[in-house]
Chain A
C-alpha cells in the first residue's frame, strides 16, 4: 500500500509491459517482429543486389557465395527479393489492419453504445462478414477494384473488421454499466464525453492484442492473394507471388519457394507469439485483480 513508499506510479499499460518482459515467448516474438521492421525499413541497404536486376546467365541458380539464397527464373537474387518482400508484407499487414481496426472501432462503438435496433443490424452485418472466409471477401473486392498492392490493402482491410467490431462492442456493453461510467454520468457528463474519454480508451486493449495477431493473418492473406496472382504485380517481390512463381520449379529449384515461405512463416510466428503473450498476461492481470 501507499503509506511509506514514494514509488513510481505505474499506469495499467506499464504494468502489463513490465510483466511482458518476463514472458520468454513474448520476447522472442518481439525480437522477430523487430527484425521484420528493421529489414523492412533498411531493405535498400541490406539487399546485395537490386531486387529487379535480372541476370540471364544465372537463371534458377542454387544458393552460392554470390547469391546466398539462389536466384529465381529471371535470374534475380532471391535474398534481395526476400528482403524487399519484408517491406511489402509489413506495409500491407500494418495498413490493412489499421483499416480494419478503424472500421471495427467505429461500428463496435455505435453498436455497443446505442444498442437496440442499431446494434441488432450492425451485429448481423458483422456476423455475416465474420462467417464468410476472408479470402472470398478479399477476392470479391479485388475483382471490383482491380488487383495491385493498394487494392490488396483495402480488400484485406475490408475483410477483417468484424472481429474488432465485436471486441469493441463487447467491451462497451460490459463497461456501460460499470460504476465509474455511472459516476461520470451523475456528474453531468454528456454521452460524447463518456464514449470518447472513458468507454473507448478502456476498450482498446483487446483490440491491440487481436490486431497483433491480425497482422500475421493479413500477411498470410496477402500472400494467398499474391499466390493467386491477385496481389502485387511483378516485378514487385511479394512473398506470395514469389511462391506462386516458384511452384512450377518446385523440383528443379525448390529454393524459390522455400526461402520466401520460411520468411513468411517466421514473420507470422513472431506476431502470433507476441499476441499470445499479451493474451496470457492480460489473463493474469484479470485473475489477479478479482
Chain B
C-alpha cells in the first residue's frame, strides 16, 4: 500500500490586476505551503469554506495551474518537472470530476461524443465498433444506458449529467480521481445516489480519490482521512472516524458546530462562530484563523503555527490545540 500522491510545500499566489493599464493591485496567496500524501486505495477528503484554496489545490495537483514552489509526486514521478508532452501523457492516470454538472460537457456534443473525446485526445486508436462498445461500457458503469448516450446535456437531469461526467473521468482507466464538489449542485437524494455510485466504482476499479467538499458531514462519511483548510493553509489532518468526538483545531470544531443535524431539538452548546472568512489579500502574519478564534493569544498573531503530528496519526497547526498532543 504505497503512496500514490505526495505533495510537498506547494504554494501559489495570484496577482490581481485592475485599472486602466491592468496594473497589479494586490496578491492573493491562494495556497500556502501545503504538504500531504495519499495512500493507494484511500479516499482523502479536503474540506473548507470559501477562499480556503481547496479547488486550487486540486488544480495544482493535476498541474492545470503552475505552482510557485513545491513538488507534486505522482507514483514516484515529480510531475512538475515533466515537459508539456509528458504531462499530457500523465493525464491518463489522473482525472478530475467537476463541480458544476451543468457546464461540464460541451453543450453542442452528445454525451456519446463527449465520452469519445478522451480517447481521441490521448490518441487511443480504436475502431468505431470498439469505441462504441467502450463508451457503452462506461455508461453502464455509471448507471446510464445508450439512450442517454444519444442525448444532449440539456436533455439530462443534474444527476444524470454528473454520472456522465464521472463516466468521462473513467474513460482512460485512471488510477487516481480528484472530485471537486461533485455533489454540491445536486439534491440530497441525488447526492446519495452519486455517492453510492462512487463507493461502488471505487471498490470495483480499485481507485484512489481526493474528495473536495464544503460539507463536513459528507466528507466524514465518505472519506478515510480529512484535511481541513482555512485561507490557503492546512489547519488539521484527521482520521474521519475521529472527527465527531475529538478534533484538535478550533476551526474544525467550529465547522462541526455549524452543522445542522436532522434530529430536531439539538440545542447547540456553543454560539456560532463570529465573523466571516477574511479577505485573502495580504494575509497578516501569524495564524490565519486568529481573527475568529475564541482562544487566540498574543503568539497566535505573531507566529504561524507549524503542522505537528497528533497521537492519532493526524496533524494539527495550532499553538493551543483543543486536546493535548502528548
Question: Is residue B122 within 8 Å, beta carbon to beta carbon, of the partner chain?
Answer: yes
Cβ-defined contact, B148 with A202, below 8 A = no
For A201, what are the chain B residues with a Cβ–Cβ distance below 8 Å?
A: 108
CB pair A9 B155 closer than 8 Å = yes
Chain B residues with CB under 8 A of A133: none
Report the bound CA distance from A235 to B105 in whole Å.
55
Once bound together, how far apart are the Cα atoms of A196 and B64, in whole Å? Answer: 20
What A residues does B92 contact at CB under 8 A?
A: 188
Measured CB to CB, the closest approach of chain A to B230, in angstroms, equals 25
Inter-chain contact B152/A202, CB cutoff 8 Å: no
B152 lies within 8 A of A183 (CB): no
Partner of A180, one of B105, B148, B151, B160: B105
Is the C-beta of B150 less than 8 angstroms from some C-beta in chain A?
Answer: yes
A52 contacts chain B at the CB level, 8 A cutoff: no
B210 CB → nearest A CB, Å: 13
Given contacts A9-B155, A179-B104, A198-B106, contact A186 B62 (CB under 8 A): yes
B89/A183 in contact, CB under 8 A: no
Q: Mark A1-29, 1 if CB is under 8 A from B, else 0.
A: 11000100111110100000000000000
Residue of A nearest to B168 (CB): A183
A280 at the interface (CB under 8 A from B): no
Structural contact, A179 and B103, CB atoms closer than 8 A: yes
Query: Does B211 sit within 8 A of A, measured CB to CB?
Result: no
> Which chain B residues (73-125) contact chain A, with CB distance < 8 Å?
87-89, 91-92, 95-96, 98-100, 103-108, 110, 114, 117-118, 121-122
Q: How many A-B Cβ pairs are below 8 Å?
A: 80
Q: Given the interface contacts A9-B151, A202-B107, does A179 sit within 8 Å of B22 by beta carbon?
A: no
- Whether A178 sits at the interface, judged by CB under 8 Å, is yes
Query: What chain B residues lie within 8 Å of A120 (beta carbons)?
Result: 22
Give bound CA distance, A186 to B177, whole Å. Answer: 11
Q: Which residues of B contact A128 (CB under 8 A)?
A: none
Could you say which residues of chain B place their CB within 8 Å of the CB of A178?
103
Pick from B95, B100, B103, B152: contact of A11, CB under 8 Å: B152
Assuming the A-B contacts A186-B96, A202-B107, are A2 and B22 also in contact, with contact meaning beta carbons closer than 8 angstroms in the complex? no
* Residues from 154 to 177 in B contacting A, C-beta threshold 8 Å: 154-157, 160, 165, 168, 172
Nearest Cβ on chain B to A10's Cβ, whole angstroms: 7
Q: What residues of A have a CB within 8 angstroms of the CB of B122 in the complex?
A: 187-188
A233: interface (CB < 8 Å): no
A193 interfacial contact with B, CB 8 Å: yes
A184 to B100, CA, bound (A): 14
Q: Which residues of A contact B (CB under 8 A)?
A: 1-2, 6, 9-13, 15, 120, 178-180, 182-190, 193, 198, 201-202, 289
| Chain B residues near A (Cβ < 8 Å) | 22, 62, 64, 87-89, 91-92, 95-96, 98-100, 103-108, 110, 114, 117-118, 121-122, 147-148, 150-152, 154-157, 160, 165, 168, 172
